[in-house]
Structure 1
Amino acid sequence: MKLAIVRQKYRPDGGAERFVSRALSALSKKTDLDITIITRQWENNSQANYNVITCDPSAKNRLQREVSFSKNASKYFSSFDIVQSHERIPGCTIYRAGDGVHKVWLEIRSREMNFLQKIALRFSIFHNYLLTQEKAMFEHPSLKRVICNSEMVKEEIIENFSIAPEKINVIYNCIDTSIWNPDLTVNYRNLMRERYNIPQQAMLLLFVGSGFERKGLDIAIKSISAHSNVWLMVVGNDTKSSRYIKIADNLGCKSRVIFAGVQKETPPFYAMADALIQPTQYDPFPNTILEAMACGLPVLTSQKCGGKEFIDIGVNGFVFDALDWKSFSNAINSLENDFDFDLARKISYEKIEKLSPVFISENLYRLYNEIVENI
């Protein structure tokens, strides 16, 4: 079986990229799968059992980059039995909606915009191109299956496009519990806190991810500002990081907000934390929630995060409107007082325990065979 996986670019801290990497690692062990990555740029892995086709035509801006990659990548589609795309390219066999629904994201994004910003967004050539691609792809006759990483995204696709619900499969991201697990606390909690000068008795919330605006870092900072014994560790990067440092400074909590930057090895950061806070405006299902739960952490997140499906409210986390920083702050107050962290650790780990790379790869493999049998 010849399988092509389409993803423009590999970024070490990218959720979609990590999904592809983990899936490739497991799927490449299937001897009857001939796997090829179609990409602009991918990590160099000499041990990998797959091929790479590079499509990186010159482009002056992001619109040209999207258009040229789509056109060049799609030229190869006919050479494969199955094309699993992680980009919005009409004509693929499988689309993995790891980035969610662009139409929904634009609606959410406009919530905090003024009138002129909304007009600019409405008539953006780039965003209108993506919307056109998205609709054409979901309603293309070549599309046999859509893989969602949350029920939330599945519902959004059904609501916004003419597509049969039976075409949509929910396959959650995988998590390797040999890397992320509650036992990490013993080895790293004290060590990491000493490294970053965080008091051992302080409550530490972890924020992971790049693209601070969408992931709600401003809300996370506001949420901890009134809690003098609560610190925030930020793992990730943003071109506008200085804006968030200024927010922390204005709120009087700058000394309790640590910016660690992008980290290739993130498990020690989960081990040092008491909870994960991810007040994202929109996220289909961030890997960081699986990683946090694997490490036994409770999770504070938003109603537009697919990870909410794994949260028993008040038991192993809390879910609020992404902009409601006061509710997040009240939840932090609960964490400081009567929260049962032992129960949260047990429930969080149980929620994700079965989502191993092997389990996910078997689900994908069955899906591929089903599609090939019906082509």
Structure 2
Amino acid sequence: MKYQITLLKSSLTQTGGLEKYTWQIAQRFCQKNLPVTLLTTGASHPPFISDYLNIVSFPIDYRLSVLNLLQFNRCCAQYIKKHPTPIIFGLDRNQFQTHIRAGNGVHAAYLNYRAQEEGVYKKLSFFFNPLHQMTLQLEKKAFEHPELQILFTNSHLVKQEVLSHYDIAPEKIQVVHNGVEWTALEPHFQSWHQKKQTILQELKLPSSCYHFLFIGNNYRRKGLSKLLQALSLIDNQSFHLSVIGKEYHLADFEQQVSELNLESKVTFFGPRNDTYQFYQYADSLVIPSFYDPFANVTVEALAMGLFVVSSARNGGSEILSPTNGTVIESLEDISSFAQALHTALSHPKTEKSAVAIRESVKSFDFSHQLDRMVELILDPV
């Protein structure tokens, strides 16, 4: 059958953004009555049922990540050889696909950024790390494969990184920015103003100051240390920072807060499943990432009416404009970072500004972005 589709995504046992995206795109194809075979290493209960969906789960569960990566690639290659389809859409790390969504960015670029931030010894360690080396090999084979038809990137930042690291025709690359559940967030957005004070009271936060918000796991790579330094340069401004996310070395950041005399202005909340209520009371979201292909929180925050401060190394910064956000010129220049925060302080969230910011990302509705990708996949076939 001409429109048979094979999807590749290793583990689907988690509930993260990439897992959700995989299920959503599988459902889109099934809704078009197109047979979909999903190759994975484990799938929790599918969020939908369809006669057009066939899940093939390979029993792979090694302790070493590199072995899981290697074996999944082998299993997929063997299956595809026996069951070829005209569309092989990869959302993971595999050596061959006709279509790829590089949602995690370019691993070669990621390692370069890490080396810049963590020093020469860390860079040397990458050469002896089998997981990094295998990922780089698969990435090169996939991106430079002659049968690759479309490589989807979620930002122009990632597109340029692909072109700088690999030999691929630019016309094969399509940029489709990450989408947001724009409609699903509407009830939370509509009630933010009336719930703000109640939430602040429940969380024991100050009620009459400017509220910055930081969301991200692994605070170092997400740039929290730089943010704290920049905040320490702000004088004569009443503000508070809420920090959301998982961090194994939390004590190090708590000590930095103490050393910078920010104890009364920073609260660590750890991982949370109710981030929407933090969006409801916050004025702005700060995303000082050292590398983010496209941080989903960028468009989520905008859809909740928040002004966004982002590093240029976050692909999501591409959708910012002077009315809904600002880009930090340099993470290395803390005074430049502080200036971006001052810009945010001049944009407190009001009912009027929140509506305007939310409307600025209406076109990034998740369904619209997903449909665009599906159309680009099916149209050339």
TM over 0.5: yes
Given the superposition, is the C-alpha separation of residues 236 and 169 from structure 1 closer, same or farther in structure 2, using an over 3 Å criterion? same
Matches of residues 28-67 of structure 1 in structure 2 within 5 Å? Answer: 30-45=31-46, 47-49=48-50, 50-67=53-70
Write out per-residue CA displacement over residues 257-283 of structure 1, whole angstroms, 9 at most, x where no aligned residue: 333233333222211111010100111
Matches of residues 293-332 of structure 1 in structure 2 within 5 Å? Answer: 293-313=302-322, 316-332=325-341
State which of 169, 173, 178 in structure 2 corresponds to 1:168.
Answer: 173
Report the equivalent of 1:205. Answer: 212
Distance (whole Å) between structure 2 residues aligned to residue 298 and residue 350 of structure 1: 12
State which of 215, 219, 233 in structure 1 corresponds to 2:222.
Answer: 215
Report the equivalent of 1:121. Answer: 126
Distance (whole Å) between structure 1 residues aligned to residue 31 and residue 251 of structure 2: 47
Asked if the contact 1:308/1:319 (under 8 Å) is kept, the reply is: no
Look up the SS of the partner of 1:207 in the other structure: strand
State yes or no: 1:179 paired with 2:184.
yes
Given the superposition, is the C-alpha separation of residues 39 and 199 from structure 1 closer, same or farther in structure 2, using an over 3 Å criterion? same
Distance (whole Å) between structure 1 residues aligned to residue 33 and residue 240 of structure 2: 50
Q: CA deviation at 1:22?
A: 4.1
Matches of residues 283-362 of structure 1 in structure 2 within 5 Å? Answer: 283-313=292-322, 316-336=325-345, 338-339=346-347, 341=349, 345-362=354-371
Asked if the contact 2:154/2:176 (under 8 Å) is kept, the reply is: yes
Look up the SS of the partner of 2:208 in the other structure: coil
Distance (whole Å) between structure 2 residues aligned to residue 347 and residue 226 of structure 1: 30
Given the superposition, is the C-alpha separation of residues 58 and 163 from structure 1 closer, same or farther in structure 2, using an over 3 Å criterion? same
Given the superposition, is the C-alpha separation of residues 68 and 321 from structure 1 closer, same or farther in structure 2, using an over 3 Å criterion? farther
Distance (whole Å) between structure 1 residues aligned to residue 14 and residue 63 of structure 2: 24
Asked if the contact 1:299/1:317 (under 8 Å) is kept, the reply is: yes
For structure 2, which runs of at least 5 residues remain unmatched after alignment? none
Given the superposition, is the C-alpha separation of residues 255 and 82 from structure 1 closer, same or farther in structure 2, using an over 3 Å criterion? farther
Distance (whole Å) between structure 2 residues aligned to residue 12 and residue 214 of structure 1: 22
How many positions carry a matched residue from both structures?
370
- Give 1:367's aligned amino acid: L
Distance (whole Å) between structure 1 residues aligned to residue 283 and residue 79 of structure 2: 47
Q: CA deviation at 1:138?
A: 0.5
Distance (whole Å) between structure 1 residues aligned to residue 191 and residue 325 of structure 2: 19
Distance (whole Å) between structure 1 residues aligned to residue 174 and residue 133 of structure 2: 27
Report the equivalent of 2:195. Answer: 188
Asked if the contact 2:73/2:94 (under 8 Å) is kept, the reply is: yes
Look up the SS of the partner of 1:95 in the other structure: strand
Distance (whole Å) between structure 1 residues aligned to residue 218 and residue 376 of structure 2: 32
29-38 vs 188-197, greater mean Cα deviation? 29-38
Look up the SS of the partner of 2:267 in the other structure: strand
Given the superposition, is the C-alpha separation of residues 331 and 361 from structure 1 closer, same or farther in structure 2, using an over 3 Å criterion? closer
32-41 vs 276-285, greater mean Cα deviation? 32-41
135-144 vs 310-319, greater mean Cα deviation? 310-319
Report the equivalent of 2:113. Answer: 108
Given the superposition, is the C-alpha separation of residues 205 and 340 from structure 1 closer, same or farther in structure 2, using an over 3 Å criterion? closer
127-136 vs 317-326, greater mean Cα deviation? 317-326
Distance (whole Å) between structure 1 residues aligned to residue 156 and residue 311 of structure 2: 15
Distance (whole Å) between structure 2 residues aligned to residue 9 and residue 244 of structure 1: 32
Report the equivalent of 1:133. Answer: 138
Asked if the contact 1:219/1:325 (under 8 Å) is kept, the reply is: yes
Asked if the contact 1:216/1:280 (under 8 Å) is kept, the reply is: yes
State yes or no: 1:229 paired with 2:238.
yes
Give the TM-score of the pair, scaled to structure 1.
Answer: 0.89
Give the TM-score of the pair, scaled to structure 2.
Answer: 0.87
Distance (whole Å) between structure 1 residues aligned to residue 197 and residue 30 of structure 2: 38
